[in-house]
């Protein structure tokens, strides 16, 4: 059974505020990725699957990297166009990219493989448009232990409790990371894992509640109004208990982790 398609039109106007990188981390990620992509090719042509608002593509373009990205959200693509003229964007579905075989030197996935309906098909289609010897990078956040991490786990548990349906396979990155590494192994690619940036975020219980109430994150979109209200009713006292207060911010360490694979030449 495939997963539903997640179109981020509904949160395009708040995406950067809720999922953006701090400026220093953005610079570090952009610089590290640019160096990785230029390791063998001085002027790489890069394809980003699920480009979103350009969190990755825009910093790369600012460093002179040629980036082409696709997304199924018109509103997210519109945001990229307002940020950079150096990024080419197309409306397209991840498992059916409109490119010829071997069109790119590299491809990037960031926070997308856990959302696409068929990650295996998406990876196969992406490998096909990257040249032999090219690079594929899959990146995501990894959070240290803390109230925010525990609140996220508690929220997933409550959604499962209220709806009777599992959320973990749809909304955790662990499975997507395994699928990526398995696809790379099957393609004969060598892979390594690197931490490209590390920073600290501070979050309050009130922010956690506000994000859920506004349905800012995709694991809330399929909830009915009744289920959403019931999860919110149960979540508010539990998240306040986890933090100890509604408005005292707790710091959490965040890492941007990249899994980097090189296809056989």
Strands of 104-110's sheet in order across: 87-91, 66-71, 45-49, 104-110, 130-143, 250-262, 190-203
Determine the 3-state secondary structure of 177 from DSSP. Answer: helix
**29: burial class by Cβ within 10 Å (0-12, 13-18, 19+)?**
buried
Determine the 3-state secondary structure of 112 from DSSP. Answer: coil
pLDDT of residue 19: 86
- In this predicted structure, the answer to whether residue 172 has a pLDDT above a threshold of 60 is no
Secondary structure tally for the chain: helices H, strands E: 10, 7
Residue showing tokens 């491809």 = 107
pLDDT tens digit string along 102-140? 999 999 999 999 999 999 999 999 999 999 999 999 999
3 — pLDDT class (breaks 50, 70, 90): low
pLDDT tens digit string along 25-44? 999 999 999 999 999 899 99
CATH 3.40.50.150 at 8-143+167-198+253-262, yes or no = yes
Q: Average per-residue pLDDT in the chain? A: 92
pLDDT of residue 166: 72
Radius of gyration of the chain (CA): 19
pLDDT tens digit string along 41-85? 999 999 999 999 999 999 999 999 999 999 999 999 999 999 998
pLDDT of residue 135: 98
Q: How many other CB atoms are found less than 10 A from the CB of residue 198?
A: 14
Predicted structure pTM score? 0.90
Cα–Cα distance for residue pair 125/96, rounded to 1 Å:
7
pLDDT tens digit string along 207-238? 999 999 999 888 888 899 999 999 999 999 99
168 — pLDDT class (breaks 50, 70, 90): low
pLDDT of residue 173: 57
170 — pLDDT class (breaks 50, 70, 90): very low
Higher pLDDT, 2 or 231: 231
Characterise 62 by phi-psi region: left (phi > 0), alpha (psi -120 to 50), beta (else).
Answer: alpha
pLDDT of residue 171: 47
Nearest to 7 by CA among 117, 85, 123: 117
């Amino acid at each position: 059974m495939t997963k539903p398609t997640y179109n981020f039109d509904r949160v395009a106007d708040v995406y950067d505020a809720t999922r953006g990188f701090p400026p220093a981390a953005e610079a570090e990620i952009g610089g590290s990725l640019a160096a990785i992509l230029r390791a063998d090719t001085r002027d790489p042509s890069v394809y980003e699957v699920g480009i979103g608002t350009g969190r990755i593509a825009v910093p790369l373009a600012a460093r002179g990297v040629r980036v082409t990205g696709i997304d199924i959200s018109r509103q997210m693509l519109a945001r990229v166009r307002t940020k950079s003229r150096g990024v080419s964007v197309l409306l397209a579905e991840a498992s059916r990219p409109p490119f010829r075989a071997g069109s790119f030197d590299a491809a990037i996935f960031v926070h997308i493989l856990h959302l696409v309906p068929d990650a295996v098909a998406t990876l196969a289609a992406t490998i096909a448009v990257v040249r032999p010897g090219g690079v594929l990078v899959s990146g995501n956040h990894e959070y240290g232990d803390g109230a925010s991490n525990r609140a996220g786990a508690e929220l997933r548990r409550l959604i499962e409790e209220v709806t009777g349906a599992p959320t973990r396979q749809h909304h955790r990155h662990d499975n997507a990371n395994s699928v990526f590494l398995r696809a790379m192994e099957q393609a004969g690619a060598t892979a390594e894992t690197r931490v490209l940036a590390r920073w600290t975020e501070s979050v309050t219980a009130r922010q956690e509640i506000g994000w859920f109430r506004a349905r800012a994150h995709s694991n809330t979109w399929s909830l009915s109004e009744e289920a959403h209200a019931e999860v919110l009713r149960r979540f508010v006292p539990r998240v306040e208990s986890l933090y100890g207060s509604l408005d005292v911010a707790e710091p959490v360490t965040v890492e941007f982790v990249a899994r980097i694979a090189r296809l056989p030449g």
